Amino acid sequence: MSTAVEDRGSRRLAWCVAHVLRHAPDHIALDLLGRLDRPTRKYLCRDEWLPASAVTLLLRHGTEADRHFIARNPRVVGRPLPGLPGPARYGRRETPPELLPVLCAELGRDPSHAPLTGAELIGLLRRHGIRRPRVALDVLRLPYVLDPAELAAEHARQPLPAGAVEALLLAAELPGESVRALLATPAAVRDGRSWHRPAVRAVRMGRLTHEELVACVAPARHALLLGHLPPGPGLRWTLPEQSGMRTAVTRALTPLGDDPRLWSELLRHAPAFEGPLPELVAAVVAGGPPGPRGAAAPAAPAEPDEALVRAVRHLAPTAAEPATGGVERELALASLAVPMETVQEDIRWVRDCLDRSLLTGADVVRHKLPACWALDEDHWLGDVDHPDRHDRPEAVLAARAEADRLFALALGEDPEAWWRVARTLPDFAGTLPHLLLRVTDGDSVSTRP
């Protein structure tokens, strides 16, 4: 039986690992999860800040105990982010009686007499999944027989509507290959208002991590648009989801570096490129025009629309703006290293500096200490009633983007370095750049700044 000190250490390590996992690639995250002992994994599965991709990896590769604790996490509710009804809810749905005569007329027979064939089901989904998944979900409550290979082939021949794809992700038990196939559409197909919903749903249902979504979603412009999906009505990214998606897209764009010519080529070819974003980036870096993936590929690049230009502009690296604010900014930066008498007073001061543009989220990550507090927005923006939102979203996104940059620059692909950072973070009293410098230099990491 663990002592109180050991229990507290496991809790703190799980809390810090949850924050580090936000910024780690999937293979590094799997390595970190495999290094945790059982008590720490238990507290990690119960952590409210556990990122969506980490939950997906734990559900896919973890133990039965991991799934047990995740299912009982009130912030997860059986899936990567709170609030989404799971497949069990849709399994209890009944096809409305008023819909049955319509389906009988379309099929020419009573669907309750024999299961729907794959062709019949796909035909109904095409007709009833145009706007939202509600009617398509009602159709899926009927008995049917569906071959995933046939579904993927039909979708490749003529893409299913977004509402039908979303319903299939919600209610059908599809293998991973079919899920990836449903998220690929021809570049020539015009995007509807709900084109993004299946991608958001795939991540939120735990079918794919953000990194896997970037690797499979096609055409490439969809990945770029998902990396900067503006808030709006309906199903959209929550704040942690938006941060995770932007991290994954930025990681895929890393080979472009800060070369303006490569970014210009990316924007020129993105509207018409049929394949996923990593293929487009590889072609642009290689110096040749991206090759067509099919006979229907356009011969010349199309003009990027305003949304795509805006998304690429937000994802591209920018030069650091000259600091303004003079003495007040210097005092604000210095205050991040000197905690005030109470946490509430400290939070009020940081929020006031953010509102007056004396500080940015990136400044907080670089200068606030200890490093574990800098990575946790609750320690400088205050507690929120829900982990999916903050009233300063731009500051949160800027802070996480800066943390992504620092982790990638210092640790790269070295899992041992990532583990040293995660293990040292709970008791380190300095800033995050200081910790990363100590770890990468191989120096002894003390608990003093």
Q: Nearest Cα to 244, choosing from 16, 18, 395, 23? A: 23
Angle, helix 343-355 to helix 326-335, in steps of 10 degrees: 150
3-state DSSP assignment of residue 292? coil
pLDDT of residue 91: 60
Residues in the chain: 449
Kindly state the tokens that stand for 394. 């731009």
Work out the burial of residue 200: count CB atoms within 10 Å of its CB; fewer than 13 is exposed, 13-18 middle, 19 or more buried: buried
Band of residue 149 on the pLDDT scale cut at 50, 70, 90: very high
> Which residues fall within 8 angstroms of residue 444, CB to CB, at 6 or more apart?
438
pLDDT of residue 317: 84
Is-cis flag, bond preceding 101, omega within 30? no
pLDDT at 268 over 50: yes
| pTM check: above 0.75 | yes
> Which residues fall within 8 angstroms of residue 263, CB to CB, at 6 or more apart?
256, 312, 316
Which of 204-208, 228-232, 326-330, 408-412 reaches the highest mean pLDDT?
A: 408-412
How confident is the model over 23-71, as pLDDT tens digits? 999 999 999 999 999 999 999 998 877 888 898 899 889 888 888 888 7
Residue 158 DSSP symbol:
S
Q: Are 439 and 445 in contact (CB under 8 A)?
A: yes
3-state DSSP assignment of residue 432? helix
How confident is the model over 420-448, as pLDDT tens digits? 999 999 999 999 999 999 998 865 544 43
State how far the Cα of 221 lies from the Cα of 224, in Å rounded to an integer: 5
Q: Are 42 and 7 in contact (CB under 8 A)?
A: no
How confident is the model over 205-225, as pLDDT tens digits? 888 999 999 999 999 999 999
Q: Nearest Cα to 184, choosing from 220, 140, 211? A: 220
pLDDT of residue 93: 64
Where do we find the tokens 């953000």? 210
How confident is the model over 352-386, as pLDDT tens digits? 999 998 999 999 999 998 999 999 988 898 876 66
Q: Alpha helices of 72-184 — where are they, by DSSP H?
A: 87-91, 99-107, 118-128, 133-140, 148-157, 162-171, 176-182
State how far the Cα of 30 lies from the Cα of 415, in Å rounded to an integer: 10
pLDDT of residue 440: 85
pLDDT of residue 445: 47
